[in-house]
Amino acid sequence: MNSPSDKSASPRLSSTGFQALVALAIAFGVVPFVATGYWFDAILTPFLALSLAAVGLNLLTGYAGQLSLGTAAFMAVGAFAAYNFNLRLPGLPLLASIALAGLAARPSAWCLACPACGCVASIWRCPRWPRSSLCSGR
C-alpha cells in the first residue's frame, strides 16, 4: 500500500528539469573557457540582447496586457548608441557601453513618449498641447 505519507519530502527532478540543469551547467561552466572572441561578439552578445528584449516584451504584452509599439525603436536607439560607444571609445568595457547606451536612450524615450501621453503638457502647463491624449483616456 502506498500512502501519501510514504513519499519522500523532496520533489523529484523531471527529465526536462535535468536537461535544463545540464544546459545551464554547460553554459556557465564550459562556454566562458572555450569560446573565442567571435562567439562572444557575434553570437552570444546579440543572443543575450535579443533575449532581454523578448523577456521585456513578454512582460509588457503578456502580463500587463499592453500593446508595445515603441520597444523596438528604443532598443534600436540603445543598440546604435552602444555600437557608437564601442566604435568611438576603444577599450571601453561592454557593460560600460551598455550602461551608457541606456543613458543615451533615455532622452529619446522621453522626447517620444511624453508628447504622446500628454506628460509635457501637465508638467510644463503648455497651452499649445492639449492635456487629453490617447494615453490618458480623457
74-127 pLDDT, tens digit each: 888 888 898 899 889 988 888 898 899 989 888 877 777 666 665 555 555 545
**Which DSSP category does 135 fall into?**
T
Give pLDDT, residue 14. 80
**Which DSSP category does 39 fall into?**
I
Element (H, E) at 76: helix 71-88
Whether pLDDT at 134 is above 50: no
Residue with cell 553570437: 43
Distance CA 125, CA 15 (A): 60
Question: What average pLDDT score do residues 2-9 get?
Answer: 55
Q: How many angstroms from the chain centroid is the CA of residue 131?
A: 31
Give pLDDT, residue 77. 87
Condensed to tens digits (0 to 9), the pLDDT of residues 82-97 reads 889 988 998 888 889 8
One-letter identity of residue 41: D
Distance CA 105, CA 79 (A): 9
Q: Which of 66, 68, 77 is nearest to 109 (CA)?
A: 77
